Structure 1
Protein backbone atom coordinates (compact mmCIF):
# COMPACT_ATOMS: atom_id res chain seq x y z
CA UNK A 1 0.00 0.00 0.00
CA UNK A 2 1.33 3.43 -0.93
CA UNK A 3 1.83 5.75 1.99
CA UNK A 4 1.95 9.51 1.85
CA UNK A 5 5.18 11.22 2.86
CA UNK A 6 5.93 14.90 3.30
CA UNK A 7 8.43 15.90 0.64
CA UNK A 8 11.05 18.34 1.87
CA UNK A 9 13.46 20.50 -0.13
CA UNK A 10 16.03 17.68 -0.47
CA UNK A 11 13.38 15.18 -1.64
CA UNK A 12 12.22 17.65 -4.29
CA UNK A 13 15.80 18.19 -5.47
CA UNK A 14 16.24 14.42 -5.72
CA UNK A 15 13.02 14.12 -7.74
CA UNK A 16 14.17 16.87 -10.12
CA UNK A 17 17.57 15.19 -10.61
CA UNK A 18 16.33 11.65 -11.23
CA UNK A 19 13.77 12.93 -13.73
CA UNK A 20 16.61 14.46 -15.75
CA UNK A 21 19.01 11.54 -15.43
CA UNK A 22 17.96 8.19 -13.97
CA UNK A 23 21.52 6.88 -14.33
CA UNK A 24 22.92 9.04 -11.53
CA UNK A 25 24.38 7.05 -8.67
CA UNK A 26 23.27 7.67 -5.10
CA UNK A 27 26.69 9.23 -4.47
CA UNK A 28 26.26 11.66 -7.40
CA UNK A 29 22.78 12.59 -6.23
CA UNK A 30 24.03 13.06 -2.67
CA UNK A 31 26.79 15.39 -3.82
CA UNK A 32 24.34 17.52 -5.83
CA UNK A 33 21.73 17.82 -3.06
CA UNK A 34 24.13 18.15 -0.14
CA UNK A 35 23.26 14.92 1.68
CA UNK A 36 24.94 11.60 2.38
CA UNK A 37 24.73 8.73 -0.07
CA UNK A 38 22.96 6.55 2.53
CA UNK A 39 20.43 9.30 3.20
CA UNK A 40 19.70 9.66 -0.53
CA UNK A 41 19.28 5.91 -0.87
CA UNK A 42 16.77 5.87 2.03
CA UNK A 43 14.90 8.87 0.61
CA UNK A 44 14.69 7.32 -2.86
CA UNK A 45 13.46 4.00 -1.42
CA UNK A 46 10.82 5.85 0.65
CA UNK A 47 9.66 7.82 -2.42
CA UNK A 48 9.46 4.57 -4.43
CA UNK A 49 7.42 2.89 -1.66
CA UNK A 50 5.12 5.92 -1.45
CA UNK A 51 4.54 5.91 -5.22
CA UNK A 52 6.30 9.19 -6.05
CA UNK A 53 8.85 7.34 -8.20
CA UNK A 54 7.14 4.80 -10.42
CA UNK A 55 9.82 3.62 -12.82
CA UNK A 56 13.19 4.20 -14.41
CA UNK A 57 13.46 4.43 -18.17
CA UNK A 58 15.85 5.54 -20.88
CA UNK A 59 14.34 7.74 -23.58
CA UNK A 60 14.85 6.73 -27.21
CA UNK A 61 15.33 9.27 -29.99
CA UNK A 62 12.34 8.66 -32.31
CA UNK A 63 14.24 9.81 -35.40
CA UNK A 64 17.07 7.33 -34.75
CA UNK A 65 14.63 4.40 -34.64
CA UNK A 66 12.60 5.49 -37.65
CA UNK A 67 9.60 6.91 -35.76
CA UNK A 68 10.13 10.60 -36.47
CA UNK A 69 6.55 11.48 -37.45
CA UNK A 70 4.33 12.56 -34.55
CA UNK A 71 0.58 12.72 -35.03
CA UNK A 72 -1.97 14.03 -32.56
CA UNK A 73 -5.23 12.24 -33.25
CA UNK A 74 -8.63 13.08 -31.79
CA UNK A 75 -10.98 10.10 -31.62
CA UNK A 76 -14.74 9.95 -31.25
CA UNK A 77 -16.24 6.81 -29.71
CA UNK A 78 -19.38 5.07 -30.98
CA UNK A 79 -20.65 4.25 -27.51
CA UNK A 80 -19.54 4.28 -23.92
CA UNK A 81 -20.66 0.90 -22.66
CA UNK A 82 -18.21 -0.81 -20.31
CA UNK A 83 -17.49 -3.44 -22.98
CA UNK A 84 -16.78 -0.82 -25.65
CA UNK A 85 -14.59 1.19 -23.30
CA UNK A 86 -12.62 -1.91 -22.34
CA UNK A 87 -12.21 -2.92 -26.00
CA UNK A 88 -10.86 0.51 -26.94
CA UNK A 89 -8.50 0.58 -23.96
CA UNK A 90 -7.15 -2.86 -24.95
CA UNK A 91 -6.72 -1.69 -28.55
CA UNK A 92 -4.71 1.32 -27.35
CA UNK A 93 -2.56 -0.78 -24.99
CA UNK A 94 -1.87 -3.29 -27.80
CA UNK A 95 -0.95 -0.62 -30.39
CA UNK A 96 2.75 0.24 -30.09
CA UNK A 97 2.25 3.25 -32.39
CA UNK A 98 0.09 4.86 -29.70
CA UNK A 99 2.49 6.27 -27.12
CA UNK A 100 -0.04 8.36 -25.18
CA UNK A 101 -3.81 8.24 -24.80
CA UNK A 102 -6.07 10.55 -22.83
CA UNK A 103 -9.79 10.41 -22.18
CA UNK A 104 -10.99 13.93 -22.93
CA UNK A 105 -13.78 16.35 -22.16
CA UNK A 106 -15.19 18.43 -25.00
CA UNK A 107 -15.99 17.56 -28.60
CA UNK A 108 -13.65 14.57 -28.86
CA UNK A 109 -13.57 11.56 -26.56
CA UNK A 110 -9.88 10.62 -26.74
CA UNK A 111 -6.62 12.24 -27.68
CA UNK A 112 -3.84 9.96 -28.94
CA UNK A 113 -0.20 10.73 -29.61
CA UNK A 114 0.97 8.39 -32.31
CA UNK A 115 4.47 7.89 -33.70
CA UNK A 116 5.03 6.67 -37.26
CA UNK A 117 7.88 6.26 -39.69
CA UNK A 118 6.22 8.41 -42.36
CA UNK A 119 2.82 9.60 -43.58
CA UNK A 120 2.11 6.30 -45.37
CA UNK A 121 2.84 4.38 -42.16
CA UNK A 122 0.42 6.59 -40.22
CA UNK A 123 -2.19 6.29 -42.98
CA UNK A 124 -1.95 2.51 -42.73
CA UNK A 125 -2.48 2.64 -38.95
CA UNK A 126 -5.39 5.07 -39.32
CA UNK A 127 -7.22 3.32 -42.15
CA UNK A 128 -6.43 -0.34 -41.38
CA UNK A 129 -6.55 -0.31 -37.59
CA UNK A 130 -7.98 2.74 -35.86
CA UNK A 131 -10.94 3.56 -38.11
CA UNK A 132 -11.79 -0.13 -38.51
CA UNK A 133 -11.99 -0.65 -34.77
CA UNK A 134 -15.65 -1.32 -33.88
CA UNK A 135 -15.65 1.25 -31.06
CA UNK A 136 -14.39 4.18 -33.17
CA UNK A 137 -16.86 6.54 -34.85
CA UNK A 138 -14.30 8.95 -36.31
CA UNK A 139 -10.92 10.59 -36.01
CA UNK A 140 -9.15 13.84 -36.82
CA UNK A 141 -5.38 13.88 -37.36
CA UNK A 142 -2.89 16.68 -36.79
CA UNK A 143 0.73 16.24 -37.91
CA UNK A 144 3.45 17.84 -35.80
CA UNK A 145 5.73 19.89 -38.04
CA UNK A 146 8.40 20.49 -35.40
CA UNK A 147 8.90 19.61 -31.75
CA UNK A 148 9.39 22.85 -29.87
CA UNK A 149 9.32 21.25 -26.42
CA UNK A 150 9.16 17.68 -25.23
CA UNK A 151 9.85 16.66 -21.67
CA UNK A 152 8.87 13.98 -19.23
CA UNK A 153 9.98 16.14 -16.28
CA UNK A 154 7.30 17.31 -13.88
CA UNK A 155 7.81 20.50 -11.88
CA UNK A 156 8.45 19.53 -8.27
Structure 2
Protein backbone atom coordinates (compact mmCIF):
# COMPACT_ATOMS: atom_id res chain seq x y z
CA UNK A 1 0.00 0.00 0.00
CA UNK A 2 2.85 2.36 0.78
CA UNK A 3 4.24 1.78 -2.72
CA UNK A 4 0.94 2.85 -4.29
CA UNK A 5 0.88 5.98 -2.15
CA UNK A 6 4.47 6.74 -3.11
CA UNK A 7 3.59 6.38 -6.81
CA UNK A 8 0.48 8.56 -6.54
CA UNK A 9 2.09 11.28 -4.41
CA UNK A 10 3.49 13.31 -7.35
CA UNK A 11 0.12 13.23 -9.10
CA UNK A 12 -1.77 14.25 -5.97
CA UNK A 13 0.57 17.16 -5.28
CA UNK A 14 0.27 18.33 -8.91
CA UNK A 15 -3.53 18.20 -8.66
CA UNK A 16 -3.48 20.17 -5.40
CA UNK A 17 -1.18 22.75 -6.96
CA UNK A 18 -3.45 23.02 -10.04
CA UNK A 19 -6.51 23.62 -7.83
CA UNK A 20 -4.79 26.43 -5.99
CA UNK A 21 -3.78 28.17 -9.25
CA UNK A 22 -7.09 27.88 -11.19
CA UNK A 23 -8.43 31.30 -12.19
CA UNK A 24 -11.50 32.61 -10.48
CA UNK A 25 -14.77 32.61 -12.35
CA UNK A 26 -14.60 36.36 -12.83
CA UNK A 27 -11.26 35.99 -14.62
CA UNK A 28 -12.72 33.24 -16.78
CA UNK A 29 -15.69 35.43 -17.61
CA UNK A 30 -13.49 38.38 -18.53
CA UNK A 31 -11.38 36.15 -20.78
CA UNK A 32 -14.54 34.94 -22.49
CA UNK A 33 -15.71 38.55 -22.87
CA UNK A 34 -12.39 39.54 -24.44
CA UNK A 35 -12.67 36.65 -26.87
CA UNK A 36 -16.21 37.68 -27.89
CA UNK A 37 -15.10 41.31 -28.28
CA UNK A 38 -12.20 40.24 -30.52
CA UNK A 39 -14.54 38.10 -32.61
CA UNK A 40 -16.95 41.02 -33.00
CA UNK A 41 -14.09 43.29 -34.13
CA UNK A 42 -12.92 40.75 -36.73
CA UNK A 43 -16.46 40.31 -38.09
CA UNK A 44 -16.92 44.10 -38.24
CA UNK A 45 -13.65 44.46 -40.18
CA UNK A 46 -14.79 41.70 -42.55
CA UNK A 47 -18.10 43.43 -43.26
CA UNK A 48 -16.38 46.82 -43.70
CA UNK A 49 -13.94 45.28 -46.19
CA UNK A 50 -16.73 43.60 -48.16
CA UNK A 51 -18.68 46.88 -48.26
CA UNK A 52 -15.58 48.74 -49.51
CA UNK A 53 -14.92 46.14 -52.21
CA UNK A 54 -18.53 46.32 -53.38
CA UNK A 55 -18.40 50.11 -53.39
CA UNK A 56 -15.12 50.32 -55.29
CA UNK A 57 -16.04 47.74 -57.94
CA UNK A 58 -19.40 49.32 -58.79
CA UNK A 59 -19.58 50.32 -62.46
CA UNK A 60 -18.82 53.95 -63.11
CA UNK A 61 -20.72 56.12 -65.52
CA UNK A 62 -24.35 56.02 -66.52
CA UNK A 63 -26.44 52.94 -66.40
CA UNK A 64 -26.42 52.29 -70.15
CA UNK A 65 -28.06 48.96 -70.97
CA UNK A 66 -25.43 47.22 -73.07
CA UNK A 67 -26.05 43.64 -74.10
CA UNK A 68 -23.73 41.38 -76.08
CA UNK A 69 -25.98 39.34 -78.36
CA UNK A 70 -23.33 37.09 -79.84
CA UNK A 71 -19.80 36.77 -81.11
CA UNK A 72 -17.91 34.61 -83.53
CA UNK A 73 -14.23 34.24 -84.31
CA UNK A 74 -13.13 35.04 -87.85
CA UNK A 75 -9.42 34.62 -87.20
CA UNK A 76 -7.01 33.73 -84.44
CA UNK A 77 -7.42 37.16 -82.80
CA UNK A 78 -10.31 38.72 -84.70
CA UNK A 79 -13.99 38.53 -83.81
CA UNK A 80 -17.32 39.81 -85.06
CA UNK A 81 -19.52 40.90 -82.15
CA UNK A 82 -23.22 41.87 -82.08
CA UNK A 83 -23.97 44.43 -79.36
CA UNK A 84 -27.40 45.88 -78.55
CA UNK A 85 -27.32 49.44 -77.28
CA UNK A 86 -30.27 51.86 -76.90
CA UNK A 87 -32.51 50.10 -79.43
CA UNK A 88 -29.73 49.71 -81.99
CA UNK A 89 -27.69 46.65 -82.88
CA UNK A 90 -24.03 47.30 -83.62
CA UNK A 91 -21.97 44.86 -85.65
CA UNK A 92 -18.42 45.34 -84.41
CA UNK A 93 -15.14 44.07 -85.77
CA UNK A 94 -12.82 43.44 -82.82
CA UNK A 95 -9.10 42.90 -83.29
CA UNK A 96 -6.23 42.87 -80.86
CA UNK A 97 -5.58 46.58 -81.34
CA UNK A 98 -8.92 48.12 -82.35
CA UNK A 99 -12.72 47.96 -82.40
CA UNK A 100 -14.54 49.17 -85.53
CA UNK A 101 -18.23 49.56 -86.24
CA UNK A 102 -19.02 47.49 -89.33
CA UNK A 103 -22.78 48.05 -89.46
CA UNK A 104 -25.61 49.62 -87.42
CA UNK A 105 -29.23 48.47 -87.58
CA UNK A 106 -32.37 48.84 -85.50
CA UNK A 107 -33.13 46.10 -83.00
CA UNK A 108 -36.38 45.33 -84.87
CA UNK A 109 -34.49 44.73 -88.11
CA UNK A 110 -32.44 41.93 -86.63
CA UNK A 111 -33.86 38.61 -87.85
CA UNK A 112 -35.18 36.37 -85.11
CA UNK A 113 -32.88 33.49 -84.31
CA UNK A 114 -34.31 30.19 -85.42
CA UNK A 115 -33.42 27.21 -83.27
CA UNK A 116 -30.98 24.96 -85.08
CA UNK A 117 -31.61 21.22 -84.98
CA UNK A 118 -28.84 19.37 -83.18
CA UNK A 119 -26.23 18.15 -85.61
CA UNK A 120 -25.21 15.15 -83.53
CA UNK A 121 -27.00 12.82 -81.19
CA UNK A 122 -27.10 13.60 -77.54
CA UNK A 123 -25.72 11.02 -75.13
CA UNK A 124 -29.08 9.54 -74.07
CA UNK A 125 -30.13 9.00 -77.70
CA UNK A 126 -26.73 7.50 -78.53
CA UNK A 127 -26.93 5.15 -75.53
CA UNK A 128 -30.46 4.06 -76.42
CA UNK A 129 -29.42 3.44 -80.01
CA UNK A 130 -26.36 1.40 -79.01
CA UNK A 131 -28.40 -0.72 -76.57
CA UNK A 132 -30.97 -1.42 -79.29
CA UNK A 133 -28.22 -2.43 -81.70
CA UNK A 134 -26.76 -4.76 -79.11
CA UNK A 135 -30.13 -6.38 -78.42
CA UNK A 136 -30.84 -6.98 -82.08
CA UNK A 137 -27.26 -7.93 -82.92
CA UNK A 138 -27.05 -10.79 -80.38
TM-score, length basis structure 2: 0.21
More relative contact order, 1 or 2 (CA 8 Å, 6+ apart): 1
Look at both structures and tell me which one has the larger radius of gyration over its CA atoms. Answer: 2
Instruction: Give the number of the structure whose residues are more often helix, by fraction.
Output: 2
TM-score, length basis structure 1: 0.19
